[in-house]
Amino acid sequence: MTIIVTGGAGFIGSNFIFHMLSVHPGYRIVCVDKLTYAGNLSTLESVMDNSNFSFRKLDICDRDDIDKLFSEEKPDIVVNFAAESHVDRSIDNPEVFLRTNIIGTSVLMDASRKYGVKRYHQVSTDEVYGDLPLDRPDLFFTEDTPVRTSSPYSSSKAGADLLVLAYHRTYGLPVTISRCSNNYGPYHFPEKLIPLMIINALADKPLPVYGNGKNVRDWLYVEDHCKAIDLIIHNGRAGEVYNVGGHNEMANIDIVKLICKELGKPESLITYVADRKGHDMRYAIDPAKIHRELGWLPETKFSDGIRKTIRWYLDNEKWWKDIISGEYQSYYEKMYGGR
């Protein structure tokens, strides 16, 4: 079994690679990543010498390179994590989101059709459903909730999802889509809420909370997301969407206060800053379908997961300090420069 994992030098993709190599030791994993600012090859250092693992520095939008890759590797399964993933960056500069998230998806699916891939899996997001009001805790996103996006990021992910479903209907490509809530855990890039707050708090720097801090996200430990994708690519029904989430809703401000408490830092570090434009109020996933069909349930409680995550950032200072200094971008040259 050969699996192409795109975006594997990023947060969730790298955790997925670790999961797959440990749970399916007979599988070959080919990681494809362009190594944008969000890609960090040093994250994959521990698997670089695994004979079942290989890395290819490629842009998923490059049709010729992707075609050549598929002709050489003959993948059975493709799991597409590669994306521009940060909402704030999409508000600043939407174009690269449209290119990578939509065009890149079509390039991968065209190669998947041409080379007879048995399963193309698109890693999508709960953000395609837009947001829910804070005063209706009874409402959740199901797979039938209409797509109704807020940001250029979520619009690009929704565009890709529609294209994936169209390739299933029009060409019969065996696709699946997972729409997951906010992940947290090791190797989360330091510009996202949880790692940013941990790292700033450690340095006694201000903790910038957008708006009034009452926006709610539904947090899932990254390993639980990886297990869900593993189940979907093996047992999920082609043409189907699966929501993935942990029924773990938290207001941003409560997360930031919890991080302060765990690190013994004063809440006076919290600084309210201008709100994100178009800021979604609340995300909340109903994961009943993936539980019913595939038996998936989240395993890590938030109280345990957040402690493990904070511990990881304390124990892996070099990983995030290299990102802050920019040093991580020279890792590819060091690893591959002489090869």
Residues that bind ligand DAU (CB under 6 A): 85-87, 125-127, 181-182, 192-193, 196, 208-210, 215, 217, 252, 276, 283
Question: CB 285 → ligand DAU: shortest distance, Å?
Answer: 9
Q: Which residue is nearest to ligand NAD (CB)?
A: 10
180 contributes a contact to ligand NAD by CB under 6 A: yes
C-beta of 243 vs 265, nearer to ligand NAD: 243
153 noted as active-site residue: yes
Task: Please give the C-alpha separations between residue 333 and each of 30, 47, 179, 313, in angstroms, as whole numbers.
Answer: 19, 17, 34, 25
Question: CB 82 → ligand NAD: shortest distance, Å?
Answer: 4
The interface partner of residue 33, options being ligand NAD, ligand DAU, none and the CB cut-off 5 to 8 Å by kind, is ligand NAD
125 contributes a contact to ligand NAD by CB under 6 A: yes
Catalytic pick among 59, 120, 129, 153: 153
The interface partner of residue 227, options being ligand DAU, ligand NAD, none and the CB cut-off 5 to 8 Å by kind, is none
83-102 positions binding ligand NAD, by CB under 6 A? 83-85, 100
- Answer yes or no: are the C-beta atoms of 228 and 275 closer than 8 Å: no
C-beta of 60 vs 173, nearer to ligand NAD: 60
C-beta of 84 vs 265, nearer to ligand NAD: 84
**Binding range to ligand NAD, per CB under 6 A, among 7-15, 131-139, 143-151, 164-172:** 7-15
Question: CB 130 → ligand DAU: shortest distance, Å?
Answer: 11
Q: Which residue is nearest to ligand DAU (CB)?
A: 125
The interface partner of residue 43, options being ligand DAU, ligand NAD, none and the CB cut-off 5 to 8 Å by kind, is none
223 noted as active-site residue: no
The contact set with ligand NAD (CB under 6 A) reads 6-7, 9-13, 33-36, 38-39, 59-61, 81-85, 100, 104, 123, 125, 157, 180, 182-183, 189
* Residues designated as active site: 126-127, 153
